[in-house]
Amino acid sequence: MPLLESGVLAADPWRPAAEDEPIGAGDVIVPLARLDEGLARSDPGRLGVLLPPEAEPSALRAALPGLSLIAVTFPIFRDGRAFTQARTLREHLGFTGEIRATGKPLPDQYEFLRRCGVTTVEVPEGTDPAPWAREHARFDVAYQPSILNETREGFALRRIPG
């Protein structure tokens, strides 16, 4: 599926692990249930994991050194648990790898996603990237601290979202 990064379409080196098959080589995203299997893999490729919305991010604590990507999910765009998961991964667990939003987020949520620590967004085939690019550039100011190290706008709580 197409991938957005910094408001534009980007190449996706990752593939999801196929069901009922060995994880295989290369950069692979495994379901949470197969995390141990992925970590035990001898392949030099990178490992990612899919964190379902009901899972505790802290369940990944021990595995973090072996993870390059964590995918969070929006089963529907109104289900905002992934915002808190992403922020928790960055703020409490110090995860510095890629956080990918999957499922059904909307372009109108793009700034929220990025300010909670999401770096890439997986969108359905045929998605028009233009609304995502527009939302990426929409606001010059935000009114609260986020977990990004944003520049202060100079007044009160305001920040300049990157």
Partner 1 sequence: MSDTATRPLPVGHYTYDQVDHDFLRARVEQFRDQVARRISGELSEDEFKPLRLMNGLYHQLHAYMLRVAVPYGTMDARQVRMLAHIARTYDRDYGHFTTRQNIQFNWIRLEDTPEILEQLASVEMHAIQTSGNCIRNVTSDEFAGAAADELVDPRVHAEILRQWSTLHPEFTFLPRKFKIAISGSPHDRVAARFHDIGVVAKPGPDGAVRFEVFVGGGMGRTPIVGVRIHDHLPEEDLLAYLEAILRVYNAYGRRDNIYKARIKILVQALGLDAFREKVEAEFAAMDRARYRLTPETVAAIRARFGTPDLIAPADAPAKLAADRAANPHFDRWARTNTHPHRAPGFICVAVSVKPAGGIPGDATSHQIDALADIAERFSFDELRVTHMQNIVFGHVRQDELLALWHALGEAGLATPNLGLIGDIIACPGLDYCALANARSIPIAQKISARFADPTLQEQIGRIHVNISGCINACGHHHAGHIGILGVDKKGEEFFQITLGGSAEDDAAIGQIIGPALPEDATVDAVARLIETYLTLRQEGERFLDTYRRLGQAPFKDSVYATA
For partner 1, the binding residues (CB under 8 A) are 77-81, 83-85, 87-88, 91-92, 106, 108-109, 111-116, 131, 134-135, 138-147, 153-158
- Least distance in angstroms from the C-beta of 124 to partner 1: 13
Nearer to partner 1, 44 or 124 (CB): 124
CB 71 within 8 A of CB 113: no
- Least distance in angstroms from the C-beta of 23 to partner 1: 29
- Least distance in angstroms from the C-beta of 53 to partner 1: 9
Nearer to partner 1, 62 or 141 (CB): 141
- Least distance in angstroms from the C-beta of 70 to partner 1: 16
Nearer to partner 1, 48 or 57 (CB): 57
Reported residue count of the chain is 162
Nearer to partner 1, 25 or 143 (CB): 143
